[in-house]
Amino acid sequence: MFDPASPFMGTNNPLVPAQKTSFAEDRLKVAVQSCELLPGSIATEAQLSERFGLGRAGVRVALARLSAQGLVQPIRRAGWKVLPVTGALIGDVISARRQVESCLANARPDATALGRITELAEMIDVLADQREPAGLVTRRGYERELLDILAGTVGNHLMAHFLTGLWDHSERILRFLETPASPPFAACKARDLAAAAAAGDGARIEALRMADIAAFQEFAVAGLMQNRTELGVGADAQDASSNNGHSRSDTGATPGTTDTDETGIVSNKGVTS
């Protein structure tokens, strides 16, 4: 039975300050998604606490929550590892998005939500050709807000929560694969999405999202082809303490690169063109 007073329910009261553990989770999640903490890197709770100015207890709880979201994993006697962006991960995210994102066809935003969606679509359109980092981050924030609004009106909270995780992974993949020399991933067709949502055209919403997923796959495949890091490197041993912050002895160097730790390991497994 639903209990609105349950201690497991969050609060949206702006007068109630966020708990330190929640702040730590948000900060570390941003660091992982933006690749500020590089994929494949390993850090201890003490290192993360010092680097981001967070309490040890908050960091510990935050890492456990991020582990449940599939973003980090504990490495015995070494610390916490940011999961690498691999071809297998990209393939899994694409496959899951194709299956789950179709539920947005059932989105039925009310007048208030539609008004905000329309505002966001206009701002996304203005920023669509921006390549500067600040403009790109802003545009993607608007795109994510638009999608979150649509997901919130589907009527299936479990599906909306699953989509949130998939979009988190997608953002991290984009940040990892983008380079200053390559054009960024194109903006979504926000105006078309807004028009379809206003018309209640679920088929059009689904078609637009499937087209965006197809473009994401094409971008990811091209990014993997251009990436110069090791392909197909196996999983870490359970005890990775000797590799924390040091070069791995079991990985060769690609031509023109130096042998480093496993930051940014990529595998070509699991992605089809």
Q: State both tokens at 230.
A: 């090791």
Residues 230-258 have pLDDT tens digits of 444 444 433 343 343 433 333 333 333 33
Residue 181: the pLDDT is: 79
Regions of the chain where pLDDT drops below 50? 1-18, 230-273
- Matching CATH topology for 20-82 and 87-226? no
**What pTM did the predictor assign?**
0.73
| Residue in the block written with tokens 């702040």 | 23
Q: State both tokens at 263.
A: 């930051």
Residue 202: the pLDDT is: 95
Domain spans of the chain? 20-82, 87-226
Instruction: Name the 3-class secondary structure at 85.
Output: coil
Homologous superfamily of the 87-226 domain (CATH): GntR ligand-binding domain-like (1.20.120.530)
Helix, strand counts (H, E) of the chain: 9, 3
Residue 245: the pLDDT is: 41
CATH number of 20-82: 1.10.10.10
The whole-angstrom separation of Cα 111 and Cα 123 is 19
Single-letter amino acid code for the residue at 98? R
| H helix or E strand, kind and range, residue 51 | helix 45-52
| H helix or E strand, kind and range, residue 116 | helix 111-127
| Residue 234 Cα distances to 231, 248, 267, angstroms | 9, 12, 9
DSSP state, 266?
-
The whole-angstrom separation of Cα 65 and Cα 42 is 17
Residue 228: the pLDDT is: 57
- Under 8 Å between Cβ of 151 and 215: no
